[in-house]
A = this chain, B = another copy of it.
Amino acid sequence: MSKFITMAHGNGGFAMQQLIQDYFVEAFANSILAQGEDQARIPLDFLAQQGEMLSFSTDSFVIDPIFFPGGDIGKLAVCGTANDVAVCGAIPQYLSCGFILEEGLPLAELKQIIQSMAQTAHEAGIQIVTGDTKIVQKGAVDKIFINTSGLGVIPKGIDWGIHQIQSGDKIIVSGTIGDHGATMLNLRENLGIQTALKSDCAVLYPLIARLRELDGVKAVRDATRGGVNAVLHEFAQAQQLGVTIDEQALPIRQEVRGICELLGLDALNFANEGKLVIVAAAEKTSEILTALRAHPLGENAAVIGEMTGDRKVRITGIFGQSRLLDLPTNEPLPRIC
């Protein structure tokens, strides 16, 4: 077998079958995948025992570079979709994966990415049950793109979503913001900042499981591309409301602050891959905050602001001055996920 991906790995024939068997089926080992069919077959009564609604989500990953401090495109592809499935309160359980590979990709890199996916999924109790692999000629894709789609079940009685949001609700972030974006920026722009900073890439289900046991959670999103800022705007627009954020309350690592100051960027716009933004009923906020902080994934959780009635997204600075927080109109950080 060649040490690199060749066009023959995508022809539906022998090399492709061998790649799928030796790389994917072996690493993702589970009884559904092992059936070797064109689709995963999942018992509906098993799902229906857990709740009333199926959660179904998809994400494609095009991050550059594909290996970075704290993770790689494989880990990211599992975490990203697992989190999108889970932020409605669902337990993420099944993933599909679709690989698009560039001719010439070293098989050793592919193997590392697959192992990373397998390990991340295994640790989170998620099975990768169906997949697809396409090979394109050199230059038609940059190394490797991965799509994952995921399934989970929302337990009975959980109805989180933007429709629940009201003026006066508090806004909580589950930890420091901008770690993933700042890590990628430092790596990619050769800023040369020596730092222990790494991507916060993580499956957030364990933290979400704690939230499910509490009252007062209204809406939850993971703040990925577009950062916390994009989520705040989504929350505001959905219910024709506004948001006020307290700049001093934002949990931001020193290294991330440094990178922001150096480049004149705002950590609120940086991608995260392991952080939740939670809208909570005001009277339940301290209970929710305590529960979050008791888990390693939420130890830096903080209340950062609240929903308001005036349809504006604002940030209040250290000296009490308030300014509008617009969405960026350009793209400061392409291929961040």
Contacts and interface: CB of A to CB of B under 8 A. Distances in A.
A112 interface: no
A303 interface: no
A16 B43 CA distance: 37
Contacts of A177: none
Interface string A112-146: 00000000000000000111101111011110010
Nearest to A149: B149
B53 A41 contact: yes
Interface stretch (A57-65, A198-206, A207-215): A57-65
A35 interface: yes
Given A44-B52, A98-B58, A39 B331 contact: no
Tally of this chain's copies:
2
A44 B48 contact: yes
Interface of A: 6-8, 10-17, 35-45, 47-48, 51-62, 64, 84-85, 87-88, 90, 94, 96-100, 129-132, 134-137, 139-142, 145, 147, 149, 151, 153-154, 161-163, 221-222, 224-227, 230, 233-234, 238, 271, 327-335, 337
Given A58-B97, A130-B56, A334-B136, A39 B230 contact: no
A8 B221 CA distance: 22
A132 B90 CA distance: 19
Given A48-B45, A57-B130, A139-B139, A38 B221 contact: yes
23 contacts: A8-B330, A11-B332, A13-B329, A14-B327, A38-B222, A39-B88, A43-B52, A44-B51, A44-B54, A44-B153, A47-B54, A54-B151, A56-B151, A57-B96, A58-B132, A58-B147, A58-B149, A62-B100, A64-B140, A100-B145, A134-B337, A140-B141, A147-B149
